[in-house]
Amino acid sequence: MGIVIRDKVFTIHTKNSTYQLKVDDKGVLLHTYYGARTDETDYSYRIMPADVGFSGNIAVTDDRTYSMDYFPQEYPVLGSGDYRVNCLEMDLGHGVKDCMLFYDSYRTYSGKYSLSGLPALFAGENDNVETLEIVMKEDKEEIYVHLLYGVFFETDIITRAAFIENKSGKEVRLSRVMSLCLDFARGDYDMIHFHGRHANERNMERVPLFHGIFEQRSTRGTSSHQHNPFVILADKNTNEEMGECYGAALLYSGGFHIQTEVDQLEHARLVIGIDDSELDWRLADGDIFTAPEVMLGYSKNGFGSLSHKYHNTVFRHLIRSAWKDRQRPVLVNNWEATYFNFNGEKLLEIAKQGAELGLDMLVLDDGWFGKRDDDYSGLGDWNVNEEKLGCSLKELVDNVNNMGLSFGIWVEPEMISEDSDLYRAHPDWALAVPGREPVRGRSQLVLDMTRDDVISYIEGRLFALLDSANIQYIKWDMNRSLAAAYSAGLERERQGEVRHRFVLGLYRVLEDLHTRYPDLLIEGCSGGGGRFDMGMLYYTPQIWCSDNTDAIERLRIQYGTSFAYPMSSVSAHVSVCPNHQNGRTTPFKTRGICAMQGTFGFELDLSRMSDEDKMLAREQVKTFKKHYRLFQFGDYYRITSPFDNPDFTAWEYADKNGREAYLAVVFTDVHGNPLPKLVRFQGLIPEAVYKIVQDGNAVEPRTGAALMNGGLLLPIPEKNYDSTAFYISVEE
């Protein structure tokens, strides 16, 4: 069993980790241990009581050595005398945030809890998954905090979530409700986080924790390009293959807040949850507020092992799409080929070229609806512009299907243009402060997803679109952040609820789409990677990784993404050169190898490709389809870092039994009189002998031990941004 309870000591085991909490003799819930798999010893012996001074003592004791200000806790609150970052801030009616929680009860059960209206990991029919629920009660009021723990034994993941239940007979106000606190007995960790900007997302940065508060957050209403709701705490010497590290990923697609603090005793605390910068939630008597889920992972074998735990858990227990186990289509998207300047004839020409190259799908991007020849108008008017297409959408789709391709389409349902029929009819449907000029982004406004009438309109237009033709894929985009987000549908006193209610409205529409069209493939997008998070993966099994399609910059973007997110969720395409974002020219071979690191597709005008590039494209499509299951289900290894190695970036897929692997290398710099370079494989069978094919040519076989320890010598690059790839398989 994963959960063992003795004398109010709760010990949670996964295959390779242990997590422990304890109710002490005063009813306080302490955190006592999280790390490598161990036994059920009561690890509270590691807590040293002391009179530190200027640290308050709770009312149930006169013991000056007992203070919430330095004890490790499961769910610290403001008002308890703990001056560190906390999980709950609540006004119980006094105008002051004052709260104290004590243990009330617990229950355990087989299977996994769910969260109403929010994404959460799920258990399969035969999975070894358990739930622990611990209930804490406020000292003076009938307010209960339910702490939820989901235990995924096989994949080594523990989930945390919480909900606040008000039975006090009055309204209370919540200004901060976090999902997780994790206290550590030491503070000398490094923090790994993933920052960026539009077209430059998820850059890995590693910094030492310091005395005080270090935070990452998004106040943008989305998880954002600028920061990602996933962090790692690691020992100083932890690398890909060795060392302790802890991961925490929030399953939420709105603004978030992550804080770490090293306190006066040099202990570290990690707190993670939704953005609380504008939160003011009125919780009525009888109501519940639910905080999103967090995925916790621990590894004593470095970042690579931690990533595998996340990848396996996301695939098995988060992604629900029917496409999870299917071979997803290799597609061509017309955006960088045509932008807004297209018609039906041009689209069919791209489709014809795609069919000849062995592609599976044509995706029609922005510009097919309403008055939409630029990005200043039309959003919200989801009616097909048949004059522009020269036919109905059904006729276009039927013609594409007759060429042997399926069809997908771009939508941006959360947005509205001021120059649109929808805005002229319903200006109050946009989030904007009355009497003030709205804050615009990309010359557009945001629809109020907190309103039932707005959601009904969006769903009605999407359902009509999907029912009108054989559409098998949609790309769901969002191209701005929230700002001055006032809802005309809520009274003044509830405007502090808008941002979270917006996310709940988004999830409601996506859930209804999933239910009504179970075979629909949905790709998430927010100007590329502005909403690349675990919450979206619950509804969309793949996400457009970045609007930056340059292969060399994608090396960094996809590297950072891979720490938490499986590469089967990373949408990546071959684009034209010179690249539209930075003007770089990269060999077609290299562009293909980089795009095959993800879901693989094309983002260019196929009719303008040279014969040589078309030949390479056909071979790339064949290679990707041949090795699809390896790319989709294999273990992913970061062989080198594009942040640390200026000469080349290498990555590998190895199947889980080690019998085959694919290793790719992109050279990012070239030198005169170059030095010899080696790459080492991972995840192989040491005693097995492997056939080796490099760029289609057979190489002398080697043992797994040789490939993992001695490695392979890389060829000298023949030109700037050259690349090479090795496929190996066990000799039968």
Which residues are part of the catalytic machinery? 477, 547
CB within 8 Å of 409: residues ≥ 6 apart: 363, 364, 368, 465, 471, 473, 474, 475
Question: Other C-beta atoms within 10 Å of 208: how many?
Answer: 12
CB within 8 Å of 176: residues ≥ 6 apart: 78, 86, 87, 88, 89, 273, 276, 279
| The two three-digit tokens of residue 505, written as one number | 């409205």
Ranges of beta strands (E only) in 141-267 are 143-152, 157-166, 172-183, 190-197, 200-208, 212-218, 230-234, 245-250, 256-262
- Of 159, 255, 263, the closest CA to residue 216 belongs to 255
**What does the alpha-carbon distance between residue 132 and residue 150 come to, in Å, rounded to a whole number?**
7
**What does the alpha-carbon distance between residue 480 and residue 447 come to, in Å, rounded to a whole number?**
11
Provide φ and ψ at 289, rounded to 5°: -115, 125
Residues 220/253, Cβ–Cβ less than 8 Å: no
Long-range pairs, 616-619, Cβ under 8 A, ≥24? 616/588, 616/589, 616/592, 617/357, 617/574, 617/588, 617/592, 618/357, 618/358
Ranges of beta strands (E only) in 554-676 are 570-571, 574-575, 601-603, 635-638, 648-654, 660-667
| The two three-digit tokens of residue 36, written as one number | 């490598």
Q: 518 preceded by cis ω (within 30°)?
A: no
- Of 557, 552, 558, 556, the closest CA to residue 575 belongs to 552
Taking the CA atoms of 715, 554, 544 and 385 in sequence, report the sign of the dihedral they define.
negative
- Of 698, 598, 702, 597, the closest CA to residue 650 belongs to 597
**What does the alpha-carbon distance between residue 184 and residue 65 come to, in Å, rounded to a whole number?**
19
Burial 343-357 (b: 16+ CB within 10 A, else e): ebebbbebbbbbbeb
